[in-house]
Structure 1
Amino acid sequence: MAARTLDVRTALQPLLAQVGYTLERLKAHALGAPHIPTFEALRAEGLEVLTTELEINDAQAGAQARVDIADDRLDAFAGKLSKTVLGIVDDDREHVLYVHYFGTKTLTEFKRPVLGAQLVTMRKWVQSLTESPHELLLALAPELTLLVNEADAAVQARDTVQQGNRNFRDTGQRYQWIARLNAARKELHGTLAKMPHEHTGLPSSFADQFFLRKVGKRGSGEEEETVESVQEYIEGLQEELAGAELRLAELEQAEEDARKAAALLEAEKAQLAELDKAAMALEKQRAALRARIEAEETA
Structure 2
Amino acid sequence: MAARTLDPRNALLTLFPQVGYTLQRLKAHPVGTPHVAIFEGLRAEGLDVLTRELEIIDAQTEAQARVDMANSNLDAFAGRLAKAVLTLVNDDREHSFYVHYFRNKTLKEFKRPVLGAKLVSMRGWVRSLEESNLPTLHALAPELTALVQAADAAVQAREHAQATNRIFRYTGARAQWVDRVNAARKVLHGTLAQLPHQQLGLPPDFADQFFLKEQKREVTEEEETVASMQVTIARQREELAASELRLKELEEDAEAAKKAAEARAAKLAQLTELERVMQAMAKQHAALTEALDAEA
TM-score range relative to shorter protein:
0.7 to 0.9
Q: Which amino acid aligns with 1:60?
A: Q
CA contact (8 A) 1:103 1:274 kept: no
TM-score normalized with structure 1 length: 0.80
The 2-side partners of 1:198 and 1:263 are apart by 63
Q: CA deviation at 1:151?
A: 0.2
**Amino acid corresponding to residue 117 of structure 1 in structure 2:** A
Deviation at 1:252? Answer: 2.3
- Equivalent residue, structure 2, for 1:107: 107
For residue 245 of structure 1, report the CA deviation from its aligned partner. Answer: 5.5
Distance 1:133 1:226, change over 3 A: closer
CA deviation string 1:157-186 (max 9, x = no partner):
000000000000000000000000000001
**Aligned residue in 2 for 1:50:** 50
The 2-side partners of 1:271 and 1:76 are apart by: 29
> TM-score, structure 2 length as denominator?
0.80
Tell whether the 8 Å contact from 2:11 to 2:242 is kept in structure 1 after alignment: no
CA distance in 2, matches of 1:77, 1:246: 33
Which residue of 2 is the match for residue 180 of structure 1?
180
Identity of paired residues, percent?
Answer: 58
Distance in 1, Cα, partners of 2:129 & 2:261: 24
The 1:28/1:261 distance shift into structure 2, 3 A limit, reads same
Structure-2 separation of matches of 1:110 and 1:273: 19
Is 2:259 the partner of 1:264?
yes
Q: Which residue of 2 aligns with 1:136?
A: 136
> Residue 250 of structure 1: CA displacement?
5.3
Whole-angstrom distance in 2 between the partners of 1:39 and 1:262: 44
d(CA) in 1 for partners of 2:247, 2:32: 43
The runs of 5 or more residues in structure 1 that have no matched partner are 219-224, 232-236, 288-299
Letter in 2 for 1:160: H
Show structure 2 runs of 5+ residues with no match: 225-231, 285-296
CA distance in structure 2 between the aligned counterparts of 1:83 and 1:266, rounded to whole angstroms: 30
Look up the SS of the partner of 2:3 in the other structure. Answer: coil
Q: Is the 2:13–2:238 contact (alpha carbons within 8 Å) kept by the matching residues of 1?
A: no
Counterpart contact for 1:9–1:246, Cα < 8 Å:
no
Q: Provide the C-alpha distance between the structure 1 equivalents of 2:200 and 2:138, rounded to a whole number of angstroms.
A: 91
Q: Secondary structure at the match of 1:194?
A: helix
Compared with structure 1, are the counterparts of its residues 96 and 273 closer, same or farther at alpha carbon in structure 2 (3 Å cutoff)?
A: farther
Q: CA RMSD in A?
A: 3.3
Cα offset, 1:72, TM superposition: 0.6
Partner of 2:195 in structure 1?
195
Aligned residue identity for 2:60: Q
Q: CA deviation at 1:260?
A: 1.5
Structure 1 residues 243 and 88: CA distance shift in structure 2, 3 A: closer
Q: CA deviation at 1:127?
A: 1.2
5 Å matches for 1:195-234?
Answer: 195-214=195-214
Partner of 2:248: 253
Quickly say closer, same or farther: Cα 1:273–1:75, change in 2 above 3 A: farther
Per-residue displacement from partner, 1:31-71 (whole Å, max 9, x unpaired)?
11111111111111111101000111111100000000000
Cα distance in 2 for residues equivalent to 1:62 and 1:212: 36
Instruction: Report 1:1-299 matches (<5 A).
Output: 1-214=1-214, 248-249=243-244, 251-265=246-260, 267-268=262-263, 269=265
Contact 2:11 2:239 in 1 (8 A): no
- Whole-angstrom distance in 2 between the partners of 1:242 and 1:195: 40
Does the CA contact (< 8 Å) of 2:71 and 2:114 recur in 1? yes
Deviation digits for residues 13-37 of structure 1, max 9, x if unmatched? 1111111111111111111111111
Shift of 1:93: 1.1
